[in-house]
Chains A and B, each alone.
Chain A
Amino acid sequence: MMRCPPFRYLAPETAAEAARLVAAHGPGAALLAGGTDLLPRLKRGQAAPDLVVGLTRVAALRRARAGADGLELGAGVTLAATARHAALTPAHRALALAAGGAATPHVRNMGTLGGNLCADTRCGYYDQPRPWREAIGFCLKAPAGCAEPAAARAGEVAGTCWVAPGGRRCWAVASSDAAPALIALGAEVTVCSGEGSRRLAVAALHRDDGRAPLLLAPGEVLTTIHVPALGPAWRTTYWKLRRRGSFDFPVGAVALAVRLAASGEVLEARAALGGVASRPLVVETDALLGRRLDDEAVGAFAEAAVAPARPLDNTDYQPAWRRRALREAVAGALREVRGDPPEALGVLARAAARVLPRA
């Protein structure tokens, strides 16, 4: 079986200490929470940290607290625990669907919400064992966040992206389920470093660069996810495209949150797409404001929403199918939040219904 390379392992008891250890060690250090993202990458030779800082002993990261202003989830709360958290209201449905629909039960029981937000981008030319990547002469995306033990790493970064060989950037795909959902819910995160902590919107956590998608400084540790309380007028959902109703990463996803007036007009809206760029794509929603969600508005919004999406040939499915199916997913998600019955929605809504236990 594939093996992890050897590394030193430290398990501090506070996030600040973890941040200090990583900062002091430099780029050869990696953070380990549930391990469902990092460990496969270690086995595939995509990371070779000489120091792994485990977060499992940081009890604070596993706490969740519900208050009047919303929910504070420690970054170490598992995806499974997030999906079924008692403090989630129906208005948080998008988060429950995203966390509950990621991967498999085993992965959701190990993988954490913070880890999912920080998960590396994915690409068919990169998420391969080392001999495979070696055979194509590697690609633009470097083994991330690790020191370069010279011999092993030599020549592992080529000047070519095999997805778009003419270009100079890496197109690896943001594959977090939680990130688009949290953006739609208007969530923020707290990150701490040795010097202190700062709070930023989830939407500000990523940039559109497949090589280094995370906008965190080395040594910053994501500690808390702040999910605002949303009143009953909010309706949210998350639709995900993937080959099977289990296991697979999103190859396109939409998270949607709208606040509707009693008369049906949209008062507020937020939306984000997953799986179609190197970061979650925040969707412009102004066109919905003040409108009722009739079929014309739904169709026009879906068309506009997917316009900036750039599905390329680096995930499962063909790009053309992904774009078309994502447009249908956006439309379906809007029909769901406007109140169409589940029976009238498509395959994806069914998949979502299986994820959530009946209320």
Chain B
Amino acid sequence: MIGLGERVGASPPRVDGAAKVTGAARYVDDLQPPGCLVGRTVRSRVAHGVLRALERDPGFDWSDVTFVTAADVPGRNVVTLIEDDQPVLVPVGGTIRHHDEAVALVAAPTKEKAEAARAAVRLVVDPLPAIFTLDDALRAEVKLHGQDNVFKRFEVTRGDDVERALAACDVVVEGVYETGAQEQMYIEPQGMLAAWEGDTCHVTGSLQCPYYVHKALKVTLGLPAERVVITQAVTGGGFGGKEEYPSMIGAHAALLARAAGRPVKVVYERDEDVAATTKRHPSRVRHRLGLAKDGRMLAADVDVLFDGGAYATLTQVVLSRGVLHAAGPYRIPTVRIVGRALATNHPPHGAFRGFGAPQTTFAYERQTAKAARALGMDPVALRRLNLYRDGDVTATGQTLRGSVAAHPTLDRVVAQLEQPPPAGRRTLPQAPHVKRGRGVATYFHGSGFTGSGEERLKGQATVAVAADGVLEVRAGSTDMGQGATTTFAQIAATALDVHVSQVRVAQPSTDKVPDSGPTVASRTCMIVGGLVDQAARAVRSKLEAFAAEVGLAADDPARGDLPALARRWAAARGELAETHTYRPPAGIRWDDQTYRGDAYPVFGWAACAVDVAVDTDTWEVVVERCVHAVDVGKAINPTIVQGQIDGGTVQALGWALWESVQYREGKVLNDRMTNCIIPTAIEAPELETLLVEEPYAHGPFGAKGVGEIPMDGPGAAVASAVEDALGVAMDELPLLPEVVHRRVRAGRAGGAA
């Protein structure tokens, strides 16, 4: 029987923990099949141009080098995702659209030879004028996508005409908010290994979504589904950064392996990974918020611009989520939100934890702070007046039905602020040149896919008695360090009433696990975990019925020993697999045409308060206190959940204060960990993380998503705190010391920063 320390709600050790800390876990670069070649990528090195020719140095020894170009693609030369606009390799005669685009591939027996071969390929390119700013993209003198460079436009409207509604408000607050690109900086760079067995292509690697890669490789390789097998190796972090590019890198490895007749591994260098793969979308959000004198929010007009980069990748879905969160968790009767994602010649921007919501959250929470000041109201009181409660209607017309924790999360933060701060925290001295301020943010994050996404996706998960008699969870969801394996094991173990160690979670491989949908969108625990729970219960009742069939008496203790029953079943009848498919709860409606209806099955809620000290000698900002309350529905494993929130909070503080990907002419200037910096433990404040559990009726044990929401709000809280300290508007991220300095100087001069 399961022990209390194993059940959902307890924190048993991670099932993958021992292998990772002892070094036994096998990441893709640890895999070394016999004869494996090293693959490298020849890149464009211009931001925009026409590829006229690829020339190979005739003096170089090519005898043991495999060389692959677009001409070697057996299927369609596209990375299939949403728009099929990105080539696997730019063909001769084709257009190069960013500085680090893949144009050819080499594979050789050693890294040294592969690198030398890469350097022995020369590109002949006719450069074209390029676009690096949102304004140039809008001007569309250079056309990268259609006539207007707009990848995608979304509009959400609610209520009256927004101009009329704003005109009738007592106060209108207006601001323009800009945020920069952010690199995921997972600890393990991207990497994929491909090997062909006859006509079947096996690809193993560091990835979030095996079925995304599967879908893309079928098209690139021109193969039927069963001849492409994608397996996830142990993966060292993703944060969204391993949603899009594993499909391309997997295709590269597969093409090289096909040409070489040997396994080929492509593992990116850090600089290559930072420069060539997706980062968070830089954004500019113009926001007008109208309020009544008493603080009621009456109208919001939001214009969202994202720099999508050179290719569509997942940009439109990121924009969609940004737009759907752009009015904030507030009752506002009249809303207009317009979002556009623009094509530029930056490397593609794409999925990153938060998925568009951090950018729009930054804007609306800075607006809320400014509105409080304009009205002379306490920022917490203003929020309490407007925050959603159960039964309120959102900007898309969704009526919130249960599990609304906007007020409880804020209340927890306010109560915690009355407690003394943690001992040993990092502070600045009390001195005249040190200014202090506090910022608050309240926000929400939709769990699961947007709109009808989950219904279309029909994610599946299986719980089985495997042929060897072991209880096994089979899901296409991946563990990249966030703890999905342990979470699934705990959910299944609780449903089956067995010990966590008696459940095996299968390695995600497209020939062994069903398509659970991608491991994204704060959906793994809530959606797929729910399927695991249902499938496990079905297995349990079959095994209990089996116990009766084989004649175990009702009071026989063996009837309660599910692992033993499973072994007996396997011996007598072989495998038992129960697969469940997601069905949305009744009454969910969404219209993709009008963008109205139930945008998400349910929302997670959060509140964050940040105290900062600003050294006005150096303009450095020190976060002296960070209180973060997050509603997760139910914490399946509180230690893992708190780890998710702590990590997301530090990533958000990094975006707010340190992380700045610098582009110059479309080229990443700081492409390594020595210069593309992220905060370390020394920079991180003592986090005061508070779990709030407002259960969701349709989640496993009440659980909702937690992966992304901690990323959304701390940035706005930090900026509001710095503004509170210095009295100058802080409307951009990251707030590097030089940025704070520039804004203070401009503020003193009386102009806009």
Interface residues of B in 401-453 (CB under 8 A from A): 426, 428-431, 433-434
In the complex, are the beta carbons of B741 and A245 less than 8 A apart?
Answer: no
With both beta carbons as reference points, the residue of chain B lying nearest to A332 in the complex is identified as: B617
In the complex, are the beta carbons of B620 and A316 less than 8 A apart?
Answer: no
Which chain B residues border A130 with CB–CB below 8 Å? 119
> Quick one: CB contact mask for B273-317 with A, threshold 8 Å, 1 for yes?
001000000000000000000000000000000000000000000
In the complex, are the beta carbons of A2 and B269 less than 8 A apart?
Answer: yes
Choose one: A124, A244, A317, A350; the contact of B680 (CB below 8 Å). A244
Which chain A residues border B119 with CB–CB below 8 Å? 130-131, 134
* Stretch of B68-76, B89-97, B470-478, B671-679 on the interface side: B671-679
Q: Nearest Cβ distance between residue A322 and chain B, in whole angstroms?
A: 8
> Quick one: CB contact mask for A296-332 with B, threshold 8 Å, 1 for yes?
0000000000000000000011101100110011011
In the complex, are the beta carbons of B112 and A5 less than 8 A apart?
Answer: yes
* Also in contact, A346 and B618, with CB within 8 A (given A2-B269, A244-B677, A244-B680): yes
A343 at the interface (CB under 8 A from B): yes
In the complex, are the beta carbons of A247 and B667 less than 8 A apart?
Answer: no
> Quick one: CB contact mask for B665-695 with A, threshold 8 Å, 1 for yes?
0010111001101011011000000000000
In the complex, are the beta carbons of B677 and A243 less than 8 A apart?
Answer: yes
Which chain B residues border A135 with CB–CB below 8 Å? 45, 99, 667
In the complex, are the beta carbons of A320 and B269 less than 8 A apart?
Answer: no
A1 at the interface (CB under 8 A from B): yes
CA distance A3 to B112 in the complex (A): 7
B148 at the interface (CB under 8 A from A): no
With both beta carbons as reference points, the residue of chain B lying nearest to A125 in the complex is identified as: B669
A345 at the interface (CB under 8 A from B): yes
B111 at the interface (CB under 8 A from A): yes
CA distance A329 to B737 in the complex (A): 14
Most A CB atoms within 10 A — which of B428, B618, B669? B618
Most A CB atoms within 10 A — which of B118, B428, B622? B428
CA distance A318 to B738 in the complex (A): 7
With both beta carbons as reference points, the residue of chain B lying nearest to A326 in the complex is identified as: B618
Which chain A residues border B544 with CB–CB below 8 Å? none
Which chain A residues border B16 with CB–CB below 8 Å? none
In the complex, are the beta carbons of B433 and A346 less than 8 A apart?
Answer: yes
CA distance A131 to B123 in the complex (A): 13
Which chain A residues border B669 with CB–CB below 8 Å? 124
Interface residues of A in 104-157 (CB under 8 A from B): 124, 127-132, 134-135
* Also in contact, A328 and B618, with CB within 8 A (given A244-B677, A246-B682, A248-B677): yes
In the complex, are the beta carbons of B430 and A247 less than 8 A apart?
Answer: no
B271 at the interface (CB under 8 A from A): yes
Q: Nearest Cβ distance between residue B147 and chain A, in whole angstroms?
A: 31
Interface secondary structure of B, over-half rule = loop
In the complex, are the beta carbons of A321 and B737 less than 8 A apart?
Answer: yes
Which chain A residues border B741 with CB–CB below 8 Å? 321, 324
A6 at the interface (CB under 8 A from B): yes
In the complex, are the beta carbons of B431 and A247 less than 8 A apart?
Answer: no
Which chain B residues border A331 with CB–CB below 8 Å? 617
Which chain B residues border A244 with CB–CB below 8 Å? 658, 677, 679-680, 682-683
In the complex, are the beta carbons of A320 and B738 less than 8 A apart?
Answer: yes
> Quick one: CB contact mask for B626-659 with A, threshold 8 Å, 1 for yes?
0000000000000000000000000000000010
With both beta carbons as reference points, the residue of chain A lying nearest to B432 in the complex is identified as: A344
CA distance A244 to B650 in the complex (A): 14
Choose one: B99, B667, B738; the contact of A317 (CB below 8 Å). B738
Which chain A residues border B269 with CB–CB below 8 Å? 1-2, 129
A200 at the interface (CB under 8 A from B): no
Which chain A residues border B622 with CB–CB below 8 Å? 347
In the complex, are the beta carbons of B112 and A6 less than 8 A apart?
Answer: yes
A66 at the interface (CB under 8 A from B): no
Which chain A residues border B682 with CB–CB below 8 Å? 244-246, 354
CA distance A244 to B621 in the complex (A): 11
Which chain B residues border A342 with CB–CB below 8 Å? 429
B615 at the interface (CB under 8 A from A): yes
CA distance A231 to B112 in the complex (A): 55
B43 at the interface (CB under 8 A from A): yes
Which chain B residues border A1 with CB–CB below 8 Å? 29, 267, 269
Q: Nearest Cβ distance between residue A351 and chain B, in whole angstroms?
A: 9
A348 at the interface (CB under 8 A from B): yes
Which chain A residues border B679 with CB–CB below 8 Å? 244
Which chain A residues border B426 with CB–CB below 8 Å? 350
Choose one: A248, A346, A354; the contact of B431 (CB below 8 Å). A346
Q: Nearest Cβ distance between residue A304 and chain B, in whole angstroms?
A: 18
CA distance A332 to B620 in the complex (A): 15
Interface residues of B in 602-626 (CB under 8 A from A): 615, 617-620, 622
CA distance A310 to B679 in the complex (A): 28
In the complex, are the beta carbons of A343 and B618 less than 8 A apart?
Answer: no
Interface residues of B in 730-753 (CB under 8 A from A): 736-738, 741
A15 at the interface (CB under 8 A from B): no
Which chain A residues border B431 with CB–CB below 8 Å? 343-346
Q: Nearest Cβ distance between residue A318 and chain B, in whole angstroms?
A: 4
CA distance A298 to B736 in the complex (A): 27
CA distance A184 to B377 in the complex (A): 54
Q: Nearest Cβ distance between residue B270 and chain A, in whole angstroms?
A: 8
In the complex, are the beta carbons of B675 and A316 less than 8 A apart?
Answer: yes
CA distance A354 to B426 in the complex (A): 10
CA distance A129 to B434 in the complex (A): 40
* Also in contact, A321 and B738, with CB within 8 A (given A244-B677, A347-B428): yes
In the complex, are the beta carbons of B430 and A343 less than 8 A apart?
Answer: yes
A183 at the interface (CB under 8 A from B): no
A97 at the interface (CB under 8 A from B): no
In the complex, are the beta carbons of B677 and A129 less than 8 A apart?
Answer: no
Interface residues of B in 705-753 (CB under 8 A from A): 736-738, 741
CA distance A3 to B618 in the complex (A): 38
In the complex, are the beta carbons of B618 and A348 less than 8 A apart?
Answer: yes
In the complex, are the beta carbons of B675 and A124 less than 8 A apart?
Answer: yes
CA distance A344 to B434 in the complex (A): 9
A241 at the interface (CB under 8 A from B): yes
In the complex, are the beta carbons of B615 and A347 less than 8 A apart?
Answer: yes
Which chain B residues border A241 with CB–CB below 8 Å? 618
CA distance A244 to B681 in the complex (A): 10
With both beta carbons as reference points, the residue of chain B lying nearest to A340 in the complex is identified as: B431
Q: Nearest Cβ distance between residue A102 and chain B, in whole angstroms?
A: 13
Q: Nearest Cβ distance between residue A26 and chain B, in whole angstroms?
A: 24
Choose one: B271, B618, B738; the contact of A132 (CB below 8 Å). B271
CA distance A14 to B192 in the complex (A): 47
Interface residues of A in 332-359 (CB under 8 A from B): 332, 342-348, 350, 354
Which chain A residues border B267 with CB–CB below 8 Å? 1
CA distance A3 to B677 in the complex (A): 22
Q: Nearest Cβ distance between residue B146 and chain A, in whole angstroms?
A: 29
In the complex, are the beta carbons of A132 and B428 less than 8 A apart?
Answer: no
Q: Nearest Cβ distance between residue A18 and chain B, in whole angstroms?
A: 27
CA distance A135 to B96 in the complex (A): 15
With both beta carbons as reference points, the residue of chain A lying nearest to B669 in the complex is identified as: A124
Which chain A residues border B29 with CB–CB below 8 Å? 1
Choose one: A5, A128, A243; the contact of B658 (CB below 8 Å). A243
Choose one: A5, A243, A345; the contact of B429 (CB below 8 Å). A345
With both beta carbons as reference points, the residue of chain A lying nearest to B617 in the complex is identified as: A328
Q: Nearest Cβ distance between residue B144 and chain A, in whole angstroms?
A: 21
Choose one: A247, A317, A343, A345; the contact of B737 (CB below 8 Å). A317
| A-B pairs with lowest CB-CB distance, top 9 | A321-B738, A328-B617, A343-B429, A135-B45, A347-B615, A318-B738, A245-B682, A246-B682, A325-B618
Q: What residues of chain B have their CB less than 8 Å away from a CB belonging to chain A?
A: 29, 43, 45, 99, 111-112, 115, 118-119, 267, 269, 271, 275, 426, 428-431, 433-434, 615, 617-620, 622, 658, 667, 669-671, 674-675, 677, 679-680, 682-683, 736-738, 741
| 6 further A-B pairs in the complex, CB-CB below 8 A; given A2-B269, A124-B675 | A1-B267, A243-B677, A320-B738, A328-B618, A343-B431, A346-B615
22 pairs, A vs B, C-beta closer than 8 Å: A124-B669, A124-B675, A128-B671, A130-B119, A131-B45, A134-B119, A243-B658, A243-B736, A244-B683, A246-B682, A248-B674, A316-B677, A321-B619, A321-B738, A321-B741, A328-B617, A343-B430, A346-B428, A346-B433, A346-B615, A346-B617, A347-B617
